[in-house]
């Protein structure tokens, strides 16, 4: 499910990068379908992260009750994925839209006005780099700003992947790993923030006193982990 979400983001990034090459209508329609897939997989992915993180917890009754609840919610979160899969199979959009996309590509490699790929790639990457640094948070403990910075880091990473052929090897061997590490650190912060929000919500919704008490404990622990991951990022980021 995680790889599915990554693949939809990469595809949208490619469609956006080369938007002047593709016809507008099928490009936008395909982006909408991909966004729908990513959103349908979002909750399932969040529960997968929780299960992975908490499956090695102690075997006491509270921890097991919590995992049971998470697995139940994960099962429910699978339904949106089933629904969108059935819809895509029925309407054949993921077959028809790419065909429409490729059938009307706006390019003529023999045209005298065709841009040189290397020059064009540098302009495109420069735009992503500027957007990335413009999103750098003023306060490194501002979770909303860190989330937006994480999105810009993803966009920069995808641009580097798509344009790597136009640059020296150092782009891939030296700079790309830095962006990966940045994304990993911001992703850790995001996972803790999402879990904290979910634990708070569950603890007020549940009628099970044992589960509520355990969720309150997880809330306190997750808050500490979030603070620690933000602090580690602040020390690392320069």
| Cβ-proximal residues to 60 (8 Å cutoff; 6+ apart), any chain | none
Closest Cα partner for 135 from 119, 117, 157, 150? 150
What percent of the chain has a predicted confidence (pLDDT) above 90?
72
pLDDT tens-place string over residues 211-226:
999 999 999 999 999 9
Q: What is the pLDDT of residue 164?
A: 95
What pTM does this model have? 0.85
Question: pLDDT category, 60, cuts 50, 70, 90?
Answer: confident
- Specify the DSSP element, H or E, that contains 127: helix 117-134
Please compute the mean of the pLDDT values over residues 77-95 and round it to a whole number: 90
Please state, in angstroms and rounded to a whole number, the distance separating the CA atoms of residues 81 and 8. Answer: 14
Question: pLDDT category, 133, cuts 50, 70, 90?
Answer: very high
DSSP at 209: H
Please state, in angstroms and rounded to a whole number, the distance separating the CA atoms of residues 146 and 12. Answer: 22
pLDDT tens-place string over residues 141-155:
899 999 999 999 999
Q: What is the pLDDT of residue 108?
A: 62
Q: What is the pLDDT of residue 167?
A: 96
Evaluate if residue 112 carries a pLDDT over 90: no
Evaluate if residue 128 carries a pLDDT over 70: yes
C-beta of residue 65 within 8 angstroms of C-beta of residue 210: yes
Evaluate if residue 111 carries a pLDDT over 80: no
Q: List b or e across 80-106, with b for residues whose CB sees 16 or more CB atoms inside 10 angstroms.
A: bbeebeeeeeeeebeeebeebbeeeee
């Amino acid at each position: 499910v995680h790889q599915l979400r990554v693949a939809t983001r990469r595809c949208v990034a490619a469609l956006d990068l080369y938007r002047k090459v593709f016809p507008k209508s099928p490009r936008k329609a395909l982006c909408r379908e991909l966004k729908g897939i990513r959103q349908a997989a979002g909750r399932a992915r969040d529960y997968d992260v929780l299960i992975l993180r908490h499956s090695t917890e102690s075997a006491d009754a509270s921890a097991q009750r919590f995992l049971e609840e998470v697995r139940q919610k994960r099962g429910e979160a699978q339904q949106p994925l089933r629904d969108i899969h059935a819809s895509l199979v029925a309407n054949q959009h993921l077959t028809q839209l790419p065909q429409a996309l490729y059938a009307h590509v706006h390019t003529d490699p023999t045209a005298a006005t065709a841009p040189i790929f290397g020059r064009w790639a540098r302009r495109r990457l420069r735009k992503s780099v500027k957007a990335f640094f413009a999103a750098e948070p003023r306060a490194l403990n501002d979770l909303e700003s860190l989330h937006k910075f994480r999105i810009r880091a993803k966009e920069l990473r995808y641009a580097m992947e798509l344009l790597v052929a136009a640059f020296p090897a150092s782009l891939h061997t030296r700079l790309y790993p830095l962006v990966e590490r940045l994304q990993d650190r911001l992703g850790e912060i995001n996972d803790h923030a999402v879990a904290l929000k979910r634990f708070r919500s569950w603890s007020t919704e549940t009628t099970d006193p044992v589960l509520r008490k355990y969720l309150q404990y997880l809330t306190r622990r997750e808050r500490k982990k979030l603070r620690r991951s933000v602090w580690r990022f602040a020390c690392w980021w320069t």
